[in-house]
Amino acid sequence: MTSRSQALAIGTATAVAAALVVLAGPASSQGPDPDRRTALRASAEQLQRLRPAVPRRDLVASGSACARDAAGDPLPAPHGPADIDELCVAHGDVLRVTLRAAQPTDPAADPAWAEGVTGALLVLDVDGDDTADLELFHDADGAAVRDPAGAPAPGCPALAAWDGTALHIEVAGTCLADVDRVAVIAFQGHDADADGVPAGDFAPDTGALVVTRAAPPPAAAPPPPTPHPPP
Ligand SMILES: [Ca+2]
Ligand SMILES: [Ca+2]
């Protein structure tokens, strides 16, 4: 029997993998690719093939949500700095993504970020067709948003921040102004020995974290009428 969830799982895995295959450059065999983001993406595509096939189960929420991720599940082997512990997404005036690792490292202090293929990649489906539309990066060079062709996405400036425990990416509201529902799959790669071959973890472990736009706050109630003083 083919259930809907199984069909979606197959379709999603195929769509995302296919998009990554199309954009991935040749795998580097002599240290990090000059374009770290292209190399990170290629690594994600390679490691995605190693992910176990499981029925799809999206986590759907309004406004904001966090997805806890399994411990010790980076591929091809457990590696704390690549091990996603939690992915959070908030979709409102801006899009905010937080990625917390089991053993987080400072992008400005850990040499694996500057010298290796280390970074976070967030794949976004913004039109509900289970195909990647935008790719957010947070690496040693900061934050960036690319379109499926690998070019900077127009109207999508992004900010990267590190607070000592987690990575944060904020994408300007102009980027997703017409998007009411965004599905996010995260990848964290960490290239400890800077040989161009990171360990990496995906989150959520099944499906995507799907967040619908937060409803705008209700309009402020008009002030009560001021009673006129008696004549
Ligand atoms: Ca994990
Ligand atoms: Ca995971």
Dist. CA 174 → ligand 2 center (Å): 30
Mean pLDDT by runs of 10 across the 231 residues of the chain is 31 40 37 76 95 92 97 98 98 97 97 97 96 96 92 95 97 95 98 97 96 84 75 64
Domain that holds residue 200: 4-212
CA 74 to centroid of ligand 1, rounded, Å: 6
120 beta partners: 138, 188
Amino acid 34: pLDDT: 59
User: Is 228 a member of any domain?
Assistant: no
Give domain status of residue 220, yes or no.
no
Q: How many angstroms separate the alpha carbon of residue 204 from the centre of ligand 2?
A: 6
What pLDDT is recorded for position 24? 35
* Other residues' Cβ atoms within 10 Å of the Cβ of residue 179: 18
- Distance from the alpha carbon of residue 104 to the mean position of ligand 2, in angstroms: 15
Taking the centre of ligand 2 as the mean of its atom positions, its distance from the CA of residue 155, in whole angstroms, is 30
In a domain, 45, yes or no: yes
Q: How far is the CA of 164 from the centre of ligand 1 (A)?
A: 19
Quick check: is 79 in a domain? yes
CB 122 within 8 A of CB 184: yes
Closest CA to 213 of 47, 96, 77, 45: 96
Q: What is the tens place of the pLDDT at every residue in 63-108?
A: 999 999 999 999 999 999 999 999 999 999 999 999 999 999 999 9
Within-domain flag for 224: no
Number of domain units in the chain:
1
Distance from the CA of 79 to the center of ligand 1, in angstroms? 9
CA of 73 to the centre of ligand 1 (A): 5
Mean pLDDT for all residues in the chain: 86
Q: Is residue 63 part of a domain?
A: yes
**Proximal ligand: closest to the CA of 52:** 2
0.85 surpassed by pTM: no
Which of 77, 73, 13, 70 is CA-nearest to residue 45? 13
Question: 157 C-alpha vs ligand 1 centroid, how far in Å?
Answer: 28
pLDDT of residue 231: 64
Q: How far is the CA of 29 from the centre of ligand 2 (A)?
A: 26
C-alpha 80 to ligand 1 mean position (Å):
9
CATH at residue 103? 2.60.40
Three-state secondary-structure class, residue 173: coil
Asked whether residue 47 is domain-assigned, the answer is yes
- HEC profile of 179-220: CCEEEEEEEEEECCCCCCCCEEEEECCCCCEEEECCCCCCCC
Pick from 168, 201, 175: nearest CA to 186: 201
pLDDT on residue 104? 97
Whether 218 maps to a domain, the answer reads no
